Structure 1
Amino acid sequence: MVDTRKMIAFAGSVAMLAGVAACGNSNSAGGGDQTSGDAQQEITVWAWEPTLKDVAKKFEAKYPNIKVNLQNVGTNIDEYTQLTNALEAGNGAPDVAQIEYYALPEYAIKKQLKELSGFGAKDYADYYTPGTWAQVQFAGGIYGLPMDSGPMAFFYNKEVFDKAGVDATQIKTWDDYYEAAKKIRALGDKYYITNDAGDAGMYEAMTWLAGGQPFSTSDDGTTITVNLTGDKGSTAFQAFWQKMISEGLIDTKTAGWTDDWNRGLSDGTIASLFSGAWMPANLVGGAPTAAGKWRVAPMPTPDGETANAELGGSSLAVIEGGEKTEAAWKFIDFANHDREGVTTRVDGGAFPADNETMKDSAWLGQTTIKKDGEDVDYFSGQKYNEVLAEGAKNVLTGYQVSPYGVAERAAYLDTVGGAFTGQETMQQGVQKWQDKIIQIGKDQGFTVKQ
């Protein structure tokens, strides 16, 4: 991301809910925090980001008295389920956790994350891009350090698009995309312009892209307004995506991040993706045989006007209640602020959250992606970071996530899922989703309006 980008203004939702207590971290050793001298400690880090493996090695070289026990307990919701269970039980939680920006408010509200201003994080504002920095702050506190970001982009298989007679660089509007989808489909029964078997993050990002504001949270974090069924951006995406589904233009059977999905990306039967800027490393890892066939373009928008949204992006946060907070802070500071740590992650394929990298001419001019230490020319010489960095500048301001995003997104497939199997429409499913979101909020002690 760059420091000129427009970006999200998160709600200041950190009021502590009645009946929610902070939970301790049983992974901590007794006797206080010791990170100087010869005292040996081990911190447990829960994260799925693969570049952290190399970061941990370099961190241990710099801080030989701190060992990092890096554990991948699952991605996003899988990790959050285990983290929530451990926090509620009062034992088994890690010292550090990777938490996506959309999920951070939920843990900050419950006072389960360490506020980091006292460690010096308050002086880091100029280091990070404005959007990522905004997403780790709540009610004057800082609850994580930005690790990466995910401005959206249109990733497409140029070989397949050429075969269908479509110039993807000329797809500017959702109508353009619809017309292209019909041509891709005409290549044969196996070919689809994209897949979607039910992805809440995708729904919210596309709503954001369309200028939507379906969630609004009060400054004190106690009141949330939910309007998925009436918000202009939300309803626009519902209508667009339902049209694509009804005409059989989307692969609704293949779920993302599965072996079938990777095969579709490899052989071109899934011909494009709307995804975050972190996608290049995943493409080269999951669909290596398609190297040279894929390209990146800006996102199409409802009317062709320049706009963008975020899809994904994570922070590293220190869990509250532990006795190794100084060591935990040193790790997240090294991984997300120290140049050695940041460069290690970016060189490994992570999309940056800092201003220095986003301005770097070598990074902007990059044409290859690292895979197992080797450079892969996946986008056939395209300077793909230039496209992604430009997309970061165009992210619309003002979008708010709900203050209980983990539970909200977990309810998506159970409510909207029927739209992808033909049992109901997107509009019917979203109504059920909204009803569920409202009930979740009330159950958690929020005042919910619609």
Structure 2
Amino acid sequence: MNKRTLLSALCLTLSFSHFAQADETIKVWSWDIAADALKKLTPAFEKQHPGVKVEVIDMGPQQIYDQALAGCSAGGINLPDVLTLENQAAERYWHSFPNCFSTLNEFGIEEYRDQFASFKWSELQKGDNIYAMPWDSGPVVLFYRRDMYEKAGIKADDIKTWDDYIAAGEKMKSAYNGQVKMALTNHATGDNWFSMMAGQNGCSYFKNEGSEVQITINQPGCVDALTTLSKMVQNDLLGNGDWDGKLQGLRANKAATAMYGGWFEGSIRDFMPEQSGKWGVQLMPASKPGGVRASNNGGSALAIPNNSKHKKLAYEFMTFALTNKDNQIEMLKGGLIPSYLPATKDSYVHSDQPYWGGQKVWELMLNTLDDIPVVASTPYSVEAKDIYIFTQGKVLSGEYPDAQKALDKAAEQISKATGLKIAK
């Protein structure tokens, strides 16, 4: 083949390649600030992939879950090329519809295993099959009012355990005549605080024992969490509040702290701009001296439905978004905390944040990623959560004074509901 013939063939190949890509559109389902973050990345990705378009569709999480369940139930139809799933909701898909999503092993996702916080992977795989790539995380911290601590004579550095937190709560009650709670929680209708506190103890509703799922809600780490939570409620240190109620209460100076995943930073800053400089961030208290002061609350991942016609491109888009340090830092500025470890070395992470009194809040939060215990989330979490919340209500009201006996009974009820064994 002479040079002219070779050049003509090469031009024809390139022309065909461009033509083949011209109609390729990757559809992505996501929500809220996550959808906004992905939309901001699409121009750069499209520039790298001429002829490819990325369409990010902003939907509510429940809408995504409903349509994903319907699509998977119908054999994988009417699904996008990429969709966002919260870690805690992901495992039911791999369990109930193992063929609905692509295993990312075929694309070589193992090369990124050590680049993400280890706790993120447990809910994104079944056996050796990895079904999603980690995205953001929710390292738990305690947000606190500097001015309220000062009035009550509380030093943030002195709060190292939950006993210390309870002692600080008594000071807060005294300083404000009981008008300011230590925190507002959803303990009347939810398991948020219990899950975070049990998580730091390495305990959850279940654990995976080989290929078998076992019930662990009555294990020591969970019992300790409920016992401590009950003590705080009995001492009148916690007030009740749903999501809106908590934000309104914090704004109205009704509580001195809030415990959440680090993403709550944006909620405080956006909803209470007038309180700039009054807030600080500290590690969550440990269950015992020298104990773990880290847990996770929230976070999501990206997955590729098996019926996607653009799986390779979809995977390239995922890696472009999630394994690029600069992209992750831009997302962090928008409120999405990375689980991608190289991003934790960026200078922005170690910079002073004006709203927080010049504190390096991202550094504090992201330094906990490697300390977050791995806990299991399973397809049975919905049943277990309902039973637990009912039990929690009885413990917090004093009807069950012994958290161990209460959780033993809850474990039996979960076993009857799911058919699973209770771990020894």
In which range does the TM-score fall when normalised by the shorter chain?
0.7 to 0.9
Decide which of 221, 233, 258 is 1:273's aligned counterpart: 258
Q: Structure 1 residues 390 and 123 mapped into 2: Cα distance closer, same or farther (>3 Å)? A: closer
**Aligned-residue CA RMSD (Å):** 3.0
Q: SS in structure 2 opposite 1:191?
A: coil
Could you give the per-residue CA deviations for residues 165-186 of structure 1, whole angstroms, max 9, x where no partner exists? 1112210111111111122223
1:45 CA displacement: 0.6
Alpha-carbon distance between aligned partners in 2 of 1:155 and 1:127, rounded to the nearest angstrom:
28
Give matches, 1:35-434, under 5 Å: 37-41=21-25, 43-48=27-32, 50-63=33-46, 65-74=52-61, 80-81=65-66, 83-89=68-74, 91-110=77-96, 111=98, 112-133=100-121, 135-186=123-174, 187-198=176-187, 199-212=190-203, 215-220=206-211, 223-229=212-218, 231-252=219-240, 254-255=241-242, 257-258=243-244, 260-307=245-292, 308-360=294-346, 362-368=347-353, 377-396=354-373, 399-409=375-385, 412-417=388-393, 419=395, 427=403, 430=407, 433-434=410-411
CA contact (8 A) 1:41 1:67 kept: yes
Could you give the per-residue CA deviations for residues 400-441 of structure 1, whole angstroms, max 9, x where no partner exists? 333433553355445534556677668376456434532442
Alpha-carbon distance between aligned partners in 1 of 2:173 and 2:64, rounded to the nearest angstrom:
37
Q: SS in structure 1 opposite 2:255?
A: coil
CA contact (8 A) 1:105 1:404 kept: no
Q: SS in structure 1 opposite 2:284?
A: coil
- Structure number with the higher helix fraction is 2
Alpha-carbon distance between aligned partners in 1 of 2:400 and 2:305, rounded to the nearest angstrom:
41
> More displaced, 432-441 or 153-162?
432-441
Could you give the per-residue CA deviations for residues 183-217 of structure 1, whole angstroms, max 9, x where no partner exists? 22231444111122233343222112234365222
CA contact (8 A) 1:52 1:345 kept: no
Q: Give 2:9's aligned residue.
A: none
Q: SS in structure 1 opposite 2:359?
A: coil
Q: SS in structure 2 opposite 1:331?
A: helix
Alpha-carbon distance between aligned partners in 1 of 2:114 and 2:79, rounded to the nearest angstrom:
32
- Identity of matched residues, %: 23
The normalised TM-score by structure 2 is 0.82
Unaligned regions of 5+ residues in structure 2, if any? 1-17
Aligned length: 394
Larger Rg: 2
> More displaced, 277-286 or 162-171?
277-286
Alpha-carbon distance between aligned partners in 2 of 1:149 and 1:312, rounded to the nearest angstrom:
6
1:335 CA displacement: 2.2
2:418 is the counterpart of 1:441: yes
Q: Give 2:11's aligned residue.
A: none
Q: SS in structure 2 opposite 1:251?
A: strand
The one-letter code of the counterpart of 1:74 is P
1:357 CA displacement: 1.1
The normalised TM-score by structure 1 is 0.78
Could you give the per-residue CA deviations for residues 341-397 of structure 1, whole angstroms, max 9, x where no partner exists? 32331232321111211122x1332223xxxxxxxx22110111222133223323x
CA contact (8 A) 2:82 2:314 kept: yes
Q: Structure 1 residues 270 and 89 mapped into 2: Cα distance closer, same or farther (>3 Å)? A: farther
Alpha-carbon distance between aligned partners in 2 of 1:412 and 1:89, rounded to the nearest angstrom:
32
Could you give the per-residue CA deviations for residues 119-146 of structure 1, whole angstroms, max 9, x where no partner exists? 2323222432333345534322221111
Structure with greater contact order relative to length (CA < 8 Å, sep ≥ 6): 1
CA contact (8 A) 2:400 2:406 kept: yes
1:251 CA displacement: 0.5
Alpha-carbon distance between aligned partners in 1 of 2:140 and 2:31, rounded to the nearest angstrom:
22
Could you give the per-residue CA deviations for residues 301-346 of structure 1, whole angstroms, max 9, x where no partner exists? 1222141222222211123334343443343223212345323312
Alpha-carbon distance between aligned partners in 2 of 1:47 and 1:440, rounded to the nearest angstrom:
32
Q: Give 1:13's aligned residue.
A: none
Unaligned regions of 5+ residues in structure 1, if any? 1-33, 369-376
